[in-house]
Structure 1
Amino acid sequence: MTIHKQTSKTFLGKNLETVLGLDLRSLAAFRIGISLIILTDLCTRFGDLTAHYSDLGVLPRSILAEIAKSGYWSLHTISGEPIFQILLFAIAAFFAILMLVGYRTRVATIASWVLLISLHNRNPALIFAADDVLRALMFWAMFLPWGACYSLDSAFNTSHRQLPERVFSGATLALMCQQCFIYIFSAAFKTKSPVWIDGSAVYYALSFDQYVTPFGHFLLNFQPILKVFTQITLVLEWIGPLVIFIPFRNDLLRMCAIITFIGLHAGFALTLNIGIFPFLSIFSWLAFLPSSFWNVLEKRIQNPARQGLTIYFDADCGFCKKVVHILRTLLILPGTPLLMAQEYPDICADMQTHNSWVIEDYQGNRYFKFKGIIYVVSLSPIFRFLVPFLSWKPVMAGGTKFYEAIATNRKFAGNFTKPLKFRPLEVRKSRFLNILAVVLLIYTLIWNFSSYSPDSFKRKIWEQTAFIGRVTRLDQSWSIFAPSPPRDDGWHIIPGRLEDGSEVDIFRNGNPVNWDKPSLGVRSAIYHNMQWRTYFINLNRAIGKKLYPFYGEYLCRHWNTQHTGNQHLKNLDIYFMDERTVPPGEQQTVEKKQTWQQSCS
């Protein structure tokens, strides 16, 4: 009887770990993807740093308090000077790079999360669904050991204890549930609108010129297919994420769900200009790749050349030791022996003769200097595409000279790797963190219900805890294209009068004013990234009344700093050509609305 109970507990534990656990390699792929997204997002936002995040832009700090919700905080509000914002962007990029390579990963993740919230809170008028998703994923990532694999932390690991293949914790459960919240609550919001029930929602989404791509616009010619896409999207959002919790044949079903949702978001990327959202969503699904996927992949890429690779380094060179550990990890060559050349007389002789590390292949051939780097890269399952470039004579000659310069000045080069320390890396289960993650998960679930049905949660107890959601930015509402896609389509025209009496279109770099509907290509150039698209959409919302005065001042200031004399801007008008989307087959009309007047004197 006792044996039977123990066996049942063991089976239950293994089954829970299989269903609710996540592979360390999957978490590493998730980390790398999210890091790339953050860096890409920072680069995009950096181009509009002054316009969006300084007091010289569209939202000076003086107005931020009027539109920001209670509890929102931002380090970016310490100063309104562009140089201060540049500093914070640089710090955010630094921590994102640390997260990408996986060095001091938890510290880098926490710092990235703090700076991400700070950036988003600095200008709420720019926030789109992708920003909400990114914040939510980054929050749970702080609890996860996503730096335990494919990272510098693992490269410099001195622990002899083998890391587990999978981890099961409150954080893994929270991440899985968070993925479900994003889709299921989005589907719940959508069912409030008849356009998702009657199958016309995708038509309205692709009719919104602010977002649609040329391919998406082309699909408007196939109305029956769009109805099918609407129904498929709604069904997938309702039940698709739950597949990852099915206890039987979990690996197969997970792979089906992952491939399906990657395809769904690839479709979004092809048809809609919605910034980082499709790519972020695709990367988020990498966290749930089953262990069997990685095991099969590792077997397939294994060959005698990779198995027979051996790298010898100078034991007296701390810089050399760190570099070979980094290369082995970043080139995805786990298990490659890293040996001290001094322990092998013939290898040591070659090292001294060539003043180089020694790379030995599975046939006993040896490579030195930059040729050794090329050979090692050729065995990498990811970076071997670089070999033709590295083998190009000018690159090889430059690489060899650079290698020789480093080899001759190893002690000096060691200054650059001094901050990198060897230390033990262990994946430990923390009861406190598990409990905390589960409590915050329940809090997040309640918040999602409250956003869906706010009237049901107007109690003092809940209202008193709302500050937790706002401070941590777990205040979620997944109304993505819900309850229905926007229909207030159109375009902006901003005629400005110069001191010399001439009229120009401020919105189109001073060209003559043209009231005609711009093509999709021209529109993409005008609303050139997701932040500007979101901002101009918000100008048409209730918040626009507070935004327009400062946007008008920004336009005057921006134009006049780039022009002199009688080319200065005297005043301007902002018009919105309202082209409200109508049902299929009906004639669209355009209404000219003057939304703001601004004097630049």
Structure 2
Amino acid sequence: MRGADEEPSAAAAGTPAAGAPAAGAPAAGAPAAGTPAAGAPAAGRLRRLGRWIREHYCTIDVRTLGLFRLVLGALLMGDCLRHWAEASWIYSNEGVLTNHYHLFHPSSGFNFSLYHAFSSLGEVHVAFALSLFCFFCFFIGWHTRLFSILSFLLVTSRDNRIVMIENGGYVVVNLITCWAMFMPTGRRFSVDALIRSYRERQERTAADLADRSRPAWAEQPYVSGVVLLAILNLATIYYFNVVNKSGQIWRRGETVHYVLHLDRMVTGLAVVAREYLPLWTKKGLTWGVLVLEALLVPWILSPYGRRVTRALAMGGMWGLHGSFGVMMRLGPFSWFMIAWSFLLPTAQHWEALERWYRRRAAPRVVVYDGGSPLAFALMRLLVRLDALELLRFEEARAAAAGAGGEAGAGGPRPELLVVRDPADGRLFQGAGALREILQALPGGRFARPVVWALSLGAPGALLGLASRRRDEMARFFGLGRRARARAAESPSPLSEKLARGRVVAREALVAYLGLCAVSQAINENKSVPAVLKHKQPSFVQATIVYPRLLQGWGMFAPNPITEDGSLAVDAITIDGRHVDPFTGEPPDLDLTDARGLGLGQIKQDYFNRIRLDRNKAFRRPGLQEFLLRYPERTGRAEDEIVAFDVYWVRDQCPRPGEGAPYKNEALPILSYRKPGYRARPGMPALPPVKKEVSAGN
């Protein structure tokens, strides 16, 4: 085997270096001649390493990016609706934290939120409606780059509006939306791609429809450092989630037992599971979680056999986080981690999926009215939707008027479109034709009930109307045979330089964010040796904290929570009733009989954080004023509150092998009595003010 010092120089490979002596000139005695030759092997190895990293970690299929955008956009819309449902008490000035108070008493350093500009509940509704519109535009891929940036600003602003309800899931949303900004997620499966295709290619004949060649921007993979950063960040989450879980409870396999008994977090399914699963099963699940999280790291990062390892990683992530999502109320964490997994498919997976789908597909021939501009416009749309090329297109002409008549003159017009099965010649018209077309499009066979509903519903009726009124609709939409688009002009030297400059600037920003992420991961994770931790410059802190791009990972680490708890309010109304304004029911100061509290992530995390001493500043006036506005929310004067005590109610989860919680406590953290209030005759006097105690740091 040739040693490193025996590797041929660049000149020996066939291309003489600049300034090298001509062929036949003596090589000995030239002092500078040996310098390039000695450095060439090292430089060549670096170039090969760079190409290898670029190929294995910095390259991604644009179809993967398109699918990733669809999943991420759908989840952003769903998460927006989840927060919108809580807008009245958590985001508006009628809630627990007004925007003006938070501006002067920010809950974190480097705090910025667009939501601080919206005060009343009506204004907050407008803010959420605009947010939902932006997420929808990102989902469909319309002006994708713009709305990906706006989506990032909006999710980080929503997080910064009230940091008390932030958990690891919010950070995952911020990170994944940040990395998406730097990716061309609109090149496939998007409105942008459709519009660009229409602009660049204008078919005029059936032969044009048969040409299925795609432009380079829709085929070439995307290469950028942000792909490497996103994949490394994903692996980092699982790495630290494993190494940070170093406690004895994890080692003994008791974590699942304790987690299933956290009534403030669990769903009804978890309540059933904890009552019927034996302890040995819970131990197996605990160790299984650790093993799976550990395996995900090499599966995600493996440069070889990625067709298998990436598929294993996706399946493992779906199983792991799907289980978390149905068992616990963790907010966006589980579902956005699943969304992150959609960055893993490679071109091999797409090709394998295409081959599998084609074996089960049903090719169809679409016969359209060749004399109808509307029909031809529909065919142009189908060409762009038919990514698997299962549809073929044929023109149909009007029949002759009779013997000796001119072809097409006065004859009956063909159907707007008819679908033919090339295997047996069956014809489908009307709703049946629409159904066959939809089933031939990508994914149509997986959604047959939806396809049937669409073909028989409004789209089917619309197709019938279009067939009857094809000429009027063509004129209304201004359809007609257009001239072929002019060939694209070559970019000017200035535009090429600007394009290269944008790429360099993008990669430089990505590299900077990557260095900030590494610094934050080192400082924030407890398992990293103290010698590596360092003081960050203020600009790095601002880069991380403003958009909440944190990197501390360790769910239930080093040990899971063994103490359950929730907030309970014992409020006294003016007519002497005791009520909890959060529930409208009498206060419950005993958790030991709970079978799940049914709290959403926002409420249970707010309850858990407001009880901490570091958040005392947000109890009065924030929480206090919200509780006193209870009669405004109910619309009943008799619900006026004259006194209340806010308790952190806690108990200890059952010991392994047992099922009953123990050691229930109610710790008063906020107490209020209406100034100057005198009880009505026959009503008991108000109890004395409770002494507020610490319920945690």
Q: TM-score, normalised by structure 1?
A: 0.84
Which 5+ residue runs of structure 1 have no aligned equivalent? 416-420
Identity %: 20
Q: How many residues align?
A: 584
Q: Which residue, 627, 640, 647 being the options, matches 1:555?
A: 627
Partner residue in 2 for 1:98: 137
Greater RCO, 1 or 2 (C-alpha within 8 Å, sep 6+): 1
1 CA distance for matches of 2:603 and 2:232? 32
State the SS of the aligned residue for 1:494: strand
**In structure 1, the residue corresponding to 2:597 is in which secondary structure?**
helix
Aligned equivalent of 1:289, options 342, 345, 358: 345
Q: Would the alpha carbon gap of residues 312 and 578 (structure 1) be closer, same or farther in structure 2, given more than 3 Å must change? A: same
Residue 172 of structure 1, CA deviation: 0.9
How far off is 1:127 after superposition?
A: 1.2
The equivalent residue for 1:452 is 525
Instruction: Give, in angstroms, the shift of residue 512 of structure 1.
Output: 3.9
Measured after TM superposition, the shift of residue 304 of structure 1 is 9.1
SS at 2:555 equivalent: coil
Deviates more, 1:140-149 or 1:397-406: 397-406
For residues 389-439 of structure 1, give each alpha carbon's deviation from its aligned partner in whole angstroms, at most 9, with x where no partner exists.
235479855774588679744565679xxxxx9999x9x983432333233
Residue 418 of structure 1 corresponds to none
Number of the residue aligned with 2:120: 81
> Could you tell me which amino acid in structure 2 is paired with residue 37 of structure 1?
L
Contact 2:263–2:596 (Cα < 8 Å) also in 1: no
What residue in structure 1 maps to residue 254 of structure 2?
Answer: 200
Partner of 1:145: 184
> What SS does structure 1 have at the residue aligned with 2:556?
coil
* 2:536 equivalent to 1:536: no
State the secondary structure of the residue aligned to 2:135. Answer: helix
- Cα gap change, 1:410/1:58 in structure 2, threshold over 3 Å: closer, same or farther? farther
Offset of residue 135 of structure 1: 0.8
Moved more, 563-572 or 389-398: 389-398
1:213-262 C-alpha deviation (Å, 9 max, x unpaired): 34434444422233333333234334522323223322212212221222
**Superimposed CA distance per residue, residues 472-527 of structure 1 (whole angstroms, 9 cap, x where no aligned partner):** 43233223222332333134332322222233343332x34454548766621xx2
From 323, 331, 335, the counterpart of 1:267: 323
Equivalent runs, 1:454-473 vs 2, <5 Å: 462-473=537-548
Q: Superposition pairs for residues 14-29 of structure 1, below 5 Å?
A: 16-29=54-67
CA contact (8 A) 2:263 2:595 kept: no
Distance 1:413 1:484, change over 3 A: farther
CA distance in 2, matches of 1:141, 1:253: 23
Q: Which amino acid aligns with 2:127?
A: L
SS of the residue aligned with 2:652? coil
CA contact (8 A) 1:328 1:334 kept: no
1:572 to 644, 649, 652: 644
State the TM-score, normalized to the length of structure 2: 0.74
Equivalent-residue separation in structure 2 for 1:346 and 1:518 (angstroms):
80
Matched residue, 2:563: 488
SS of 1:260's partner is helix
Q: Which residue of the partner structure matches residue 298 of structure 2? A: 242
User: Using the alignment, how far apart are the partners of 1:386 and 1:3 within structure 2?
Assistant: 62
Give the gaps of 5 or more residues in structure 2.
Answer: 1-7, 16-40, 201-213, 400-406, 480-484, 492-498, 676-697
Q: Which residue of structure 2 lines up, in the alignment, with residue 375 of structure 1?
A: 436
- Cα contact 1:313–1:338 (8 A) shared by 2: no
Whether contact under 8 Å (1:102, 1:147) holds in the other structure is: yes
Residue 63 of structure 1, CA deviation: 3.0
Task: State how far apart, in whole Å, the 2-side matches of 1:598 and 1:187 are.
Answer: 45
1:361 aligns with 2:434: no
SS of alignment partner, residue 582 of structure 2: helix
Higher helix share: 1
From 235, 258, 266, the counterpart of 1:212: 266
Task: Verify the 8 A CA contact 1:356 1:407 in the aligned structure 2.
Answer: no
Q: CA deviation at 1:136?
A: 0.4
Aligned to 2:550: 475
Q: Is the 8 A contact 2:418 2:428 kept in 1?
A: yes
Q: In 1, Cα distance between the equivalents of 2:569 and 2:478? A: 57
Match of 2:356 among 296, 300, 310: 300
CA deviation after TM superposition for structure 1 residue 139, in Å? 0.8
Distance 1:476 1:366, change over 3 A: same
Q: For structure 1, which segment, 9-18 or 385-394, has the greater mean C-alpha deviation from structure 2 after superposition?
A: 9-18
- What is aligned with 1:190? 245
What displacement does 1:34 show? 0.9
Question: Matches of residues 296-335 of structure 1 in structure 2 within 5 Å?
Answer: 296-302=352-358, 306-310=362-366, 312=368, 321=377, 333-335=387-389
2:308 is matched with 252
1:456 & 1:319 partners in 2: Cα distance? Answer: 71
Aligned mates of 1:120, 1:37 — CA distance in 2: 16
Aligned residue among 220, 223, 226 for 1:168? 223
